[in-house]
Every structure is written in C-alpha cells, then in structure tokens.
C-alpha cells in the first residue's frame, strides 16, 4: 500500500513527544507538510528540527497552551487552514474518584476535549469547502474500559467518541472523514512516569513494564506496551486517500486490550 500525502498540510497537536511526535514524523515521511504543536517554543523547535533531519520534509511549528480558548485562537491565527487535523493533545493524572476536585475535572476537559472541539470547529468547514479533509481524534482504550485510577481521563476519552461520530455525521457526503483512534497503553514519557508511580521505581523499567501489564492491564494480547510508531501507522493510514471509505469510526490500536470483538 502506497500512502502519498504530498500537497497536504497536517497539524498534529501535542506533537513534541510520544504518539503525537511519532504521528508528525510518519505524516512527514508520507509527504505531508507538517505543523508540530506544543506548549513551549523550545520543545516545538526541537521537535521540528528532529523531524526535518529524519525526513527531509517541510515541517513547521506552533506553540500554544491548549488548556484555554486563547491557546486555540493562537494556533488558528498562526495556522489558518489545514487539510489534516490530528487532535492528539491530552493530559492524564492518576487520582481516585473521590479525590478529583472540580478544578482537575475542568483542566482535563479543557485540554482533552474542548481544545479538539475548538480546532475542529474552525478547520472542518474549510475542508468541506474544498471537498477533502481528515479530522482525527486520538482517544484511548480508556474510552471503553474506564480506568478506576483516572475516571476523569476516561470520561474525556469517551466523550471524544461522541464528538467524532457526531462531526462525521455533520459532514456526511462532503469528502471529509472524521475518525477516532484508540491506542492502548503506549510507551511515552508520561506513561513511563505513570507506570513507575504505580509499580515502583526500584526495578528496571523493562521489568516494571511487564509487572504493570500483568497486574494492571492483564487483558493485553501483546503483553507489552505499544510503541508510538505503531499508533502513528494507523493515524497516517486514516489521513490518507486509502481510508476514504472509513468515517465515523473508532479504530483500536490497543494490542487486543479491550475484551470485545467490536469497538
């Protein structure tokens, strides 16, 4: 299968590391002009430099805090139009339900859900006008199996499924597709820290990974964390012409973690 995104411009939010970075690099390798996003200028410029060196592609960057409406407005002002929007920016925190204050609920909703809504609300109509576009929400297996240790995170990821499906229905027949990608636990900087907090820091990480999967995510069929590039492969496919028949969907890249034969 050949994927050619030449002539397309892609914005990947939260792409200075982890899944977002892998997606930005993968889209660049497929020929897209990629815009990296992060909260700080230094991390953005570093990611842009690394992707350029790795791919030789046209890569730019934009820095803004998507935890508020002003940050989304800043991105839109700097990047008024794109063909591919990958709503990847997200945060999580381990916290028992009774300990989650209103402020934390609001913070995680702003970043994980409202930032994606704000950007999709701006960019999608422009895609419709051109008759082609791709809007992707990076959700999570936690949308389907709410983790007890971070209910608030799971709620935002479930909400992304509703937003994605509703938006896909809104732009039906326009040439614009809208989908969710549901990664399972993936080896990112944040997940590494989370696992060490859960199982302890007194063992090598490889051992901690095995313990975490066995004790906290035992339904995984691959018996390991996913790697960011494995999720990026699905994102790049859905961003391509090859996936023109796929919209309104929730596509799992979870290593078989969710114990169901349907999403």
Residue 214 lies in a domain: no
Q: How confident is the model at residue 129 (pLDDT cuts 50, 70, 90)?
A: very high
Catalytic, out of 21, 123, 153, 237: 153
φ and ψ of 2, to 5 deg: -100, 125
Sign of CA dihedral 79, 85, 91, 97: positive
pLDDT tens for 203-226 read 899 999 999 999 999 999 999 999
Residue 247 lies in a domain: yes
Give me 257's structure tokens: 């973690």
Is 85 domain-assigned?
A: yes
153 has catalytic annotation: yes
Query: Is the residue at 162 inside a domain?
Result: yes
- Residue 23 forms part of a structural domain: yes
Task: Give me the half-sphere count of Cα atoms (radius 13 Å) on the Cβ side of residue 97.
Answer: 6
Number of domains in the chain: 1
Distance (Å) of CA 40 to CA 105, 147, 168: 23, 30, 32
- Smallest CA-to-CA distance from 168 within 195, 126, 128 is with 128
Domain containing residue 142: 9-186+226-253
Two tokens at 168?
Answer: 């896909």
> Once rounded to an integer, what is the mean pLDDT over residues 139-163?
96
- What's the rounded Cα separation, in Å, for the pair 38 and 29? 20
Q: Is residue 14 part of a domain?
A: yes
The pLDDT assigned to 198 comes to 84
Task: State residue 24's pLDDT score.
Answer: 98
Give residue for tokens 């799992």: 252
The answer to whether residues 236 and 25 touch, using CB atoms and an 8 Å cutoff, is: no
**Banded pLDDT at 156 (limits 50, 70, 90):** very high
Cα dihedral 8, 12, 18, 24, rounded to 10, equals 20
Query: So what's the pLDDT on residue 199?
Result: 85
State the pLDDT confidence band at 99, using cuts at 50, 70 and 90: very high
List, for residues 14-27, the tens digit of each pLDDT value.
Answer: 999 999 999 999 99
Which tens digits make up the pLDDT trace of 41-98?
999 999 999 999 999 999 999 999 999 999 999 999 999 999 999 999 999 988 999 9
Q: How many CB atoms lie within 10 A of CB 245?
A: 7
**The whole model's pTM is what?**
0.95
- Give me the pLDDT at residue 143, please: 97
Using the Cα atoms of residue 91, residue 94, residue 97 and residue 99 in order, give the sign of their dihedral.
negative
Phi, psi (degrees; rounded to nearest 5) at 85: -115, 120
Token readout for 49 is 């430099």
Q: What is the mean pLDDT of residues 141-157?
A: 96
Q: What is the SS3 assignment for 231?
A: helix
Give the CATH number of the domain where residue 159 resides. 3.40.50.720
Burial label, 1 (beta-carbon count in 10 A; 0-12, 13-18, 19+): exposed
DSSP letter string, 165-217: HHHHHHTTTTTEEEEEEEE-SB--HHHHHHHHHHH-SSS-HHHHHHHHHHHH-
**Distance (Å, whole) CA 195 – CA 166:** 34
- E-strand ranges in 92-153 read 133-138
Q: How far is CA 36 from the centre of its chain?
A: 13
Residue 160 falls inside a structural domain: yes
Establish if 24 belongs to a structural domain: yes
How far is residue 31's CA from residue 38's CA, in Å, rounded to a whole number?
A: 21
* Joined tokens for residue 91: 């945060």
Mean pLDDT of the chain: 96
Q: What is the percent of the chain with per-residue pLDDT over 90, rounded to a whole number?
A: 92
């Amino acid at each position: 299968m050949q994927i050619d995104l030449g002539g397309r411009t892609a914005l990947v939010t939260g792409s200075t590391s982890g899944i977002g970075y892998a997606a930005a690099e993968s889209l660049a390798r497929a020929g897209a002009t990629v815009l990296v996003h992060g909260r700080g200028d230094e991390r953005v410029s570093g990611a842009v430099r690394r992707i350029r060196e790795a791919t030789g592609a046209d890569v730019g960057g934009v820095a803004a805090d998507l935890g508020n409406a002003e940050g989304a407005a800043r991105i839109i002002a700097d990047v008024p139009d794109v063909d591919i929007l990958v709503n990847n920016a997200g945060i999580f925190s381990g916290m028992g339900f009774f300990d989650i204050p209103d402020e934390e609920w609001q913070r995680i909703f702003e970043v994980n859900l409202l930032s994606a809504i704000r950007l999709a609300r701006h960019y999608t109509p422009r895609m419709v006008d051109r008759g082609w576009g791709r809007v992707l929400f990076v959700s999570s297996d936690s949308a389907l199996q709410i983790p007890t240790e971070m209910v608030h995170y799971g709620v935002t990821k479930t909400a992304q499924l509703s937003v994605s499906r509703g938006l896909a229905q809104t732009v039906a027949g326009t040439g614009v597709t809208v989908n969710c990608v549901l990664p399972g636990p993936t080896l990112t900087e944040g997940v590494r820290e989370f696992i060490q907090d859960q199982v302890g820091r007194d063992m090598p990480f490889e051992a901690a990974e095995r313990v975490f999967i066995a004790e906290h995510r035992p339904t995984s069929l691959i018996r390991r964390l996913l790697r960011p590039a494995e999720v990026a492969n699905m994102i790049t496919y859905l961003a391509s012409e090859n996936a023109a028949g796929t919209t309104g969907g929730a596509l799992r890249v979870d290593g078989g973690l969710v114990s169901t034969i349907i999403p």
